[in-house]
Chain A
Amino acid sequence: MNDRNDFICLHCGAPVSSEACGTRHRNHCPHCLHSRHVDMHSGDRACLCRGVMEPIALYQKADGELMLLHRCTVCGMIKANRVAGDDDPEALCKLVPEVGQICS
């Protein structure tokens, strides 16, 4: 880890590289899918909240793109982030209970 945007996940402690497949900005941990409330607009790092954001849902846009919904545990803000190509499939499945049952 030598890029200044690399980080250690606050939730699971895993080291995370800033490079992510399928999205310009790494905005959540690919292992536990948790994020941190640091942006007002994507990548600006202007938010003062800095709370941990938990993944609450997965949804598919009309164009087929998979999006992850996060909710901040401090201020309650809900944000949508694109699913990255290296996100843990099991963690993603757990967000969709019916699919999770099939996978397990």
Chain B
Amino acid sequence: MYNHQEETLLQTYGWQQCHAQSFIPYQEQGYQAYRIVREGKGLYWGFDGEKELLLRRSGSFQNREDLGVQNPPVIGDWCAVLPYGEEQGLIEGVLERTSAFHKSSAGDRERVDVSSSVVAANIDKAAIVQDIRNDFNLRKTERFLSLLHADGIPAILILTKCDLVEEAELYPRRVQARFSDLPVFLVDSLSGKGLEELAASLAERSTLMVLGSSGAGKSTLLNSLCGKRVAKTQEVRSSDGRGRHTTTSRQLHLLPNGALLLDTPGLRSVGMNTSSSEVEDSFEDIALLASQCRFADCTHTGEPGCAVQQALLGGELEQDRYLNYLKLRSEAQSWEEVLNMRKQKDKHLGKLLYHYRREGLHER
């Protein structure tokens, strides 16, 4: 068993009881627990509070992955590792995850082989970061919230570069008119305005994943919270304020207040990889109205007795929110169709293989 000091070091990096429980079989065989703190271009770096190792998957791990019975490790995962050499280790297993964030890209609808993959694990909270001047977009926020809601990850919204607009305090008010439960933070990373309040909201040993478009100011925010330059940054393009994709790998950093921050590359697009029912659940106000519709299978697109349409006409529901709800629901439905098509394809292939194995290759 780990001694108290070792356990405390691990807890600094987010080690929890469930991880300790799932690690017991590995510990008895002499493995050590490392958290993946950096991932990029097929490589992993693990840290246990004291030492950083370059990790690769063991042969048996890769075998299980190829058979489809083992999930690949991602950043944030706690892994059972066998160290070898000075600074290297072999990943033998991935410990139980408290949460997992899935992502796919919009525009992949035509490809049946696309998959929604886990990109980060053991996340306690996600921060949607938006540049208040060029990137403030309630629909995009809604999209992120829907995805995070499906993965059970609570969210906050951070509006950066608040010195670049007048009456910046209007923006949180606008956000809260649409998302009354969403905490909003106005920050100016360069001057430090708003950082104290943000840091105070982050619990020690909790992991915050920052998401947002390229150029939103995620890495600059990280550098300001750490009080030193730990991530590379660049200025945005002067023509349109968009980013230059400076951050290319995901990395976990320990902040001075004890919280952990996961910096991610900017997202080009965010596809809906959830079911349509999960999208409907994430729009709680619309879900509540839907329960009052005349028809149980009301699609809220013109049926008589539709409570959603009535709320829209009465001004209780924002038109933009309603339109975004329809759009996200439609994307989720087409994602479900893609998954069904893939399932049918796999089923058909499976039957064919079974038939060939049973009847022999020369017969049909």
B315 and A47 form a contact (CB under 8 A)? no
A45 at the interface (CB under 8 A from B): yes
CB distance from A28 to the nearest CB of B (A): 16
- Which B residues contact A (CB, under 8 angstroms)? 170-171, 173-174, 176-178, 315, 318
- Enumerate chain A residues within 8 angstroms of B174, measured Cβ to Cβ: 40, 46-48
Contact of A45 among B173, B315, B318 (CB under 8 A): B173
- Enumerate chain B residues within 8 angstroms of A48, measured Cβ to Cβ: 170-171, 174
- Enumerate chain A residues within 8 angstroms of B318, measured Cβ to Cβ: 40
CB distance from B4 to the nearest CB of A (A): 51
Bound Cα distance from A45 to B177, whole angstroms: 9
Chain A contact-residue range equals under 10
- Enumerate chain B residues within 8 angstroms of A24, measured Cβ to Cβ: none
A25-50 near B? 1/0 per residue, CB < 8 Å: 00000000000000011001111100
- Which A residues contact B (CB, under 8 angstroms)? 40-41, 44-48, 79-80
- Assuming the contacts A40-B177, A41-B177, asked whether A46 and B170 have C-beta atoms less than 8 A apart, the reply is yes
CB distance from B139 to the nearest CB of A (A): 14
- Enumerate chain B residues within 8 angstroms of A41, measured Cβ to Cβ: 177, 315
CB distance from A37 to the nearest CB of B (A): 12
Bound Cα distance from A80 to B176, whole angstroms: 22
Chain A, residue nearest B319 (CB) = A77
A46 and B177 form a contact (CB under 8 A)? yes
Contact of A44 among B171, B177, B315 (CB under 8 A): B177
Bound Cα distance from A26 to B318, whole angstroms: 22
- Enumerate chain A residues within 8 angstroms of B315, measured Cβ to Cβ: 41, 79-80
CB distance from B275 to the nearest CB of A (A): 30
Question: Given A44-B177, A45-B173, list of 18 further CB < 8 A pairs?
Answer: A40-B174, A40-B177, A40-B178, A41-B177, A41-B315, A45-B170, A46-B170, A46-B173, A46-B174, A46-B176, A46-B177, A47-B174, A47-B177, A48-B170, A48-B171, A48-B174, A79-B315, A80-B315
